[in-house]
Amino acid sequence: MTSAAHPRATLAASILGSSLAFIDGSVINVGLPALAADLHAGASSLSWTIDAYLLPLGALMLLAGGLGDHFGRRRLFLAGLATFTLASILCAASPTLSWLLAARGFQGLGAALLMPNSLAILGGEFSGEARGRAIGTWAAVGALAGALGPVIGGWLVDRAGWRSIFLLNVPVAAAAGFLAWKYVAEHKDASTAAPLDAVGAGLSTVGLGLLTWALTAASGPKTGSGWPWIAAISGTAALGAFFRHEHRLQDRALMPLAMFAVRTFAGLNLLTFFLYGSMGGLVVLLPFCLIKIEHWSAVAAGAALLPVPIVIAVGSRLMGKAAAGHGARMPLMIGCGLVAAGLALLARFGTGAISYRTDALPPTLLIALGMGACVAPLTTGVIESVAADRVGIASGINNAVARIAGLIATALLGFVFARQDSTVSFIAGFRVAAAIGAASAAAAAACALL
């Protein structure tokens, strides 16, 4: 395997494309209060503005990676860019909430095509040390994009309204598309790629969608309707059918269940679920609280979480070396414990004025240090827990688990959003959510120990 003919352009295209998904996953959080006021979004609908994006991203990411192997990674990357760009324009032009939710789902589909194929392009175009440097740069810039997204998005919301945050994607996508079309070579390997498991992808999407709808609907006005229960039971049945289908396909499955027989791999994915579930609630709820209840500007609320991605970007390199030399267990235990402590401190928020320096910054720094200690060892542990020919699918499964954890956490936040008309009631709900997040992070620490 040779290095890319145009290494800088290839790396730039991959970074710009994947950055769209990183940014859009976080930038919407600072626009939620303005969006809710403009489109008259209720508690359950507010959760869906995020979950409509996370659902296809988490459920279809593994299938999208397989599509790239079969039909060409550059082709799927460009298709993802086109889908994401069109969806972003539709989001910005949304006249109603239903229109916005449909466009957000379309965005999630584009992101699912972009994420695995942007990384696969680097794997196919670079080799040896050049591949390691390229992937390291890709990860670092992705963390930086996640850091700057809420700040830039907050500034745009304050100056031009929430619709402008979606239009920000268009020039970035255009630049990525031009570079990929002109400089990136096509790679596919249908002869060795695993068969496409479209049935598995469909069952998982339907199951997760029904469960998410049931959770968000339960947070809305109590009408005595039994539809949430029917959706929950149907979603559980669909996921049960998914697991039976995957077991029957064995190594040809979208998610080979035999991999979970390895205790370390199963434990690390359980840790991922608890840790990213706790973080998924935090990154949505804290900015919303600061804007809606404390009347902070959107840019200030976006900057409140800035330490988290910055410390992750800086600390991942150091902790990656520590995990390689001494194992992943201790960094993961300590990191998850710090995240739990930070969330427990957030549970002390009162109804008075919140000071960033004394109330928000200390817990945010603890959470940032904890995540900085966890991200690289978690990735290393997942890779080292499986055979070399399973690294790609193992990494994809772990990434999907993280997205699904955020999906479920966001759905549960509808119970807090439903309290936003009363400051006292909302802060009480916020504190309960932070306490549950702390317990979830503590469970992740227990997974690392065991």
Q: What is the average pLDDT across 81-110?
A: 94
- Read off the pLDDT band of 93 (50, 70, 90): very high
Predicted pLDDT at 144:
74
User: Of how many residues is the chain composed?
Assistant: 450
Give yes or no for a contact between 405 and 273, defined as CB atoms under 8 angstroms apart: yes
pLDDT value at 191 more than 60: no
Among 276-280, 320-324, 332-336, the minimum mean pLDDT is found in 320-324
Query: What residue type is assigned to position 422 of the chain?
Result: S
d(CA 433, CA 243): 30
pLDDT value at 398 more than 90: no
Give yes or no for a contact between 430 and 294, defined as CB atoms under 8 angstroms apart: no
Q: Which one has a higher pLDDT value, 440 or 377?
A: 440
Phi, psi of 298 (to 5 degrees): -65, -35
C-alpha angle 263/199/188, rounded to 5°? 80
Helix (H, G, I), strand (E, B) or coil at 122: helix
d(CA 286, CA 299): 13
Structural domain boundaries in the chain:
1-186, 198-222+232-253, 258-450
Give yes or no for a contact between 257 and 243, defined as CB atoms under 8 angstroms apart: yes
Q: Which CATH number fits domain 258-450: 1.20.1250.20, 2.40.128.20, 3.40.50.300, 3.30.750.24?
A: 1.20.1250.20
DSSP 258: G
Mean of the per-residue pLDDT values for the chain? 85
Helix residue ranges per DSSP H, 161-262: 164-167, 169-183, 198-218, 227-249
Long-range CB contacts (< 8 A, 24+ apart) of 68-72? 68/116, 68/117, 68/120, 68/188, 69/120, 69/188, 69/189, 69/190, 69/192, 69/193, 69/194, 70/188, 70/190, 70/193, 70/196, 71/188, 71/190, 72/186, 72/187, 72/188
For 239-248, how does the pLDDT look when each residue is reduced to its tens digit (9 = 90+)?
999 999 999 9
- Read off the pLDDT band of 1 (50, 70, 90): very low
Q: What is the average pLDDT across 293-299?
A: 85
d(CA 130, CA 124): 11
Query: What residue type is assigned to position 277 of the chain?
Result: G
Q: Which CATH number fits domain 1-186: 1.20.1250.20, 3.60.15.10, 3.40.50.300, 3.30.300.30?
A: 1.20.1250.20
d(CA 342, CA 361): 10
Same fold, 1-186 and 258-450: yes
d(CA 200, CA 281): 28
Q: What is the average pLDDT across 311-326?
A: 71
Largest Cα span, the chain: 63
Query: What residue type is assigned to position 89 of the chain?
Result: I
Number of C-alpha atoms within 13 angstroms, CB side, residue 246? 18
- Report the C-alpha dihedral over residues 65, 66, 72, 78, rounded to 10 degrees: -40
Q: Which one has a higher pLDDT value, 38 or 357?
A: 38
Predicted pLDDT at 148:
78
d(CA 129, CA 270): 32
- Report the C-alpha dihedral over residues 356, 358, 360, 365, rounded to 10 degrees: 110
Tokens representing residue 134 in the block: 């390229």
CA 171 to mean position of chain CA atoms: 22
pLDDT value at 2 more than 50: no
State pTM to two decimals.
Answer: 0.84
Which residues, 6+ apart, have CB-to-CB distance to 191 below 8 Å? Answer: none
Predicted pLDDT at 387:
78
Helix residue ranges per DSSP H, 28-96: 32-39, 43-71, 73-92
pLDDT value at 192 more than 60: no
- Read off the pLDDT band of 290 (50, 70, 90): confident
d(CA 124, CA 126): 6
